[in-house]
Amino acid sequence: MLRLTPLRRAAPTPLNRAAVYLRQSSTASPVADTKPYYVTTPIFYVNAAPHIGHLHSMVYADLFKKWHAWADPARPTFLTTGTDEHGMKVQHAANAAGVPTRPFVDAAAAKFQALASHADIAADRFIRTTDADHLRASQELWRKLQDNGYIYKGEHSGWYCVSDETFYPETQVERDPESGQMLAKETGKVVEWTSEENYFFALSKIQPQLLRFLQENEKFILPRSRYTQIVREVTEGLEDLSISRPKSRCNWGIPVPGDNSQVMYVWLDALTNYLTSAGFPDTPMEQSFWPANVHVIGKDIIRFHGIYWPAFLLAAQLPPPQQLVVHCHWTMLGSKMSKSLGNVVDPIEILDRYGIDSVKFFLANDSYLNHDSDYENERIVERHNNFLLNKYGNLVTRLCGPKFDLPRAVKSIDRMADLPETPLAREADGLVKTVSANMENALTAPALSAVQDLVANANNFLATHEPWKLRKDPAAQDAIFRVAAEAARVASLVLVPFIPGIANRVLDRLAVAPEMRGIEHARYGADLTYGVGANRKGDHPVQALLLEDGTKSRGWTREEAAAAKES
């Protein structure tokens, strides 16, 4: 039985927001604390339909935005996503579809916009590389590079990959022993020997400055293994980069300033989208959103973002982004998803079937930065029913049962007494610090694990102390309920950026006022006003998900069912 301590009322201590803000990386600019927190997804290539990987990037970036908006509401946030619409692959895809290129990209961009809207992604701008301001930004960046002596014209011969739209150096290609074709080591795509007149970016000239930047900013790329990979490649030497294509071969692109016979290399054009959305070149740099705080990208495009992008910016005398967060891919039964294998997941279909928050919870909980994750519909259902329904939702329905008095228990909270005595109270009090430390390193799975541990411990706390048996001892019952209720409340507050729909429904069920849902309230004893009217029968805040065969992945245990019946 929990030992009771005479009530010593202490005013709740407001949480110091500064103590839980995510610390700026060492790349932070002098305006980092005053400019909006700027986070981006990659822009998505429109030669194919949206898939689960696109949704993954959107969810990650959206989560970082919402976490920072919750952690520091006084600081504006800005999130961009969008589409990459130029280049040979798009031109070929439009031709194959028998559609003029512009209507083709318009239709494709609409699908990605629909996905962002469907997933409740809080994007402040959906940028398209066919936007007029993006053309101006791309051409202005070109002029800066040219004026600074980093662009020259020459004959280019090398291993070109149509699929990746890039030339690869000799060290980055290998022969496939089965087909005899030359392949890019990084992507496994076919490359062909090609010769043509191009403009070049003097990547070798900027290499020493780029290497110094990387060495001075060890948190520029997360995870550490990806940072090490990029530093190694830059150290080994960089070849100058072809940054244009003859218009005779690719006419769907941004014209090179001063030379209408060439169009820009699609990656120089595409990467510039981050500057365009920040206001470049019309807004003075010190008044713009630049540099970006975080670019969220997939592992397949790390070289373009980890080498080419900071190199372009340094050569243009513009600050690089503060950080790249590089996530891995989703597989199915251990195999890469592809149309040919018939295992591509339609993201809108799964959002409709399982719900936005359940899918977001799965993507954040089951994905990692260092290795690929396996996708299964059953896992979405399992994570939802096992944690969100049975553990988290059931904890709240126990606390809000009609035979108990939650507001009375809440008013009895004694921060000074409970924190020294009760490990669960201390765990709830430290949850924001734990989750913040993980989010600083883009570790969403460990961040959610800390929340799940707190909820599990709160359920165990109730099961151990059995407050439903203490109806004749209200003070003893309140002493137990107040600790478990605080764990549920704090967990819910921290979950708001991750799964806002479900978390806010739970907070509604606990009768937590809307104005009491900030980070300053996510501490033990920081709210003594909730619970009024919460104790009533039913009204479970989380509904069960069903598998395709109409069953749940897991039902309540006997203990859970008995506890629910008691409440």
Domain-located, residue 304: yes
pLDDT at residue 267, as a whole number: 93
Residue 551 structural domain: 378-566
Last residue of a domain, one of 322, 344, 368: 322
**Together in a domain, 557 and 409:** yes
pLDDT at residue 190, as a whole number: 95
Closest to 503 (Cα-Cα) out of 353, 369, 393: 393
Q: Where are the beta strands (DSSP E) in 402-467?
A: none
CB atoms within 10 A of CB 420: 10
**Together in a domain, 405 and 270:** no
Respond yes or no on whether the N-terminal peptide bond of residue 281 is cis (omega within 30° of 0): yes
**Together in a domain, 433 and 548:** yes
pLDDT at residue 19, as a whole number: 28
pLDDT at residue 16, as a whole number: 29
Domain-located, residue 514: yes
Contacts of 457 (CB under 8 A, 6+ apart): 423, 424, 427, 487
**Together in a domain, 243 and 383:** no
Domain-located, residue 539: yes
Domain-located, residue 151: yes
Phi first, then psi, for residue 44 (nearest 5°) are -100, 135
Contacts of 396 (CB under 8 A, 6+ apart): 488, 506, 509, 510, 541
| Alpha-carbon gap, residue 511 to 229, rounded angstroms | 50
**Together in a domain, 415 and 548:** yes
Residues of the chain scoring pLDDT < 70: 1-33, 338-341, 548-567
Domain-located, residue 357: no
Give the DSSP letter of residue 220: S
Last residue of a domain, one of 277, 293, 322: 322
Cβ atoms of 462 and 563 within 8 Å: the answer is yes
**Together in a domain, 163 and 88:** yes
pLDDT at residue 428, as a whole number: 98
Find how far residue 6's CA is from the centre of its chain.
46
pLDDT at residue 169, as a whole number: 86
pLDDT at residue 343, as a whole number: 73
**Together in a domain, 156 and 242:** yes
Domain-located, residue 327: no
**Together in a domain, 297 and 393:** no
Cβ atoms of 321 and 93 within 8 Å: the answer is no
pLDDT at residue 340, as a whole number: 63
**Together in a domain, 48 and 181:** yes
Respond yes or no on whether the N-terminal peptide bond of residue 291 is cis (omega within 30° of 0): yes
Query: What is the 3-class SS of 109-140, one letter each residue?
Result: HHHHHHHHHHCCCCCCEEEECCCHHHHHHHHH
Count of CA atoms in the C-beta half-sphere (13 A) of 49: 9
125 CB burial (10 A radius; 0-12, 13-18, 19+): middle
Tell me the CATH number at 502.
1.10.730.10
pLDDT at residue 211, as a whole number: 98
**Together in a domain, 307 and 447:** no
Q: Tell the residue number behind the tokens 């707190």, with chain if given.
A: 454
Count of CA atoms in the C-beta half-sphere (13 A) of 163: 12
| Alpha-carbon gap, residue 303 to 105, rounded angstroms | 25
Domain-located, residue 344: no
Last residue of a domain, one of 303, 322, 341: 322
> Residue 496: in which H helix or E strand, if any?
none
> Residue 165: in which H helix or E strand, if any?
none
Domain-located, residue 10: no
Structure tokens at 116: 């962002």
Cβ atoms of 250 and 263 within 8 Å: the answer is yes
Q: At what angle do helices 444-465 and 474-495 cross, to 10 degrees?
A: 170
Closest to 198 (Cα-Cα) out of 267, 264, 139: 264
Rounded to 10 degrees, the C-alpha dihedral 23/29/34/38 comes to: -80
Number of domains forming the structure of the chain: 2
pLDDT at residue 331, as a whole number: 86
pTM to 2 decimal places: 0.86
pLDDT at residue 47, as a whole number: 87
Tell me the CATH number at 185.
3.40.50.620
**Together in a domain, 66 and 139:** yes
**Together in a domain, 243 and 173:** yes
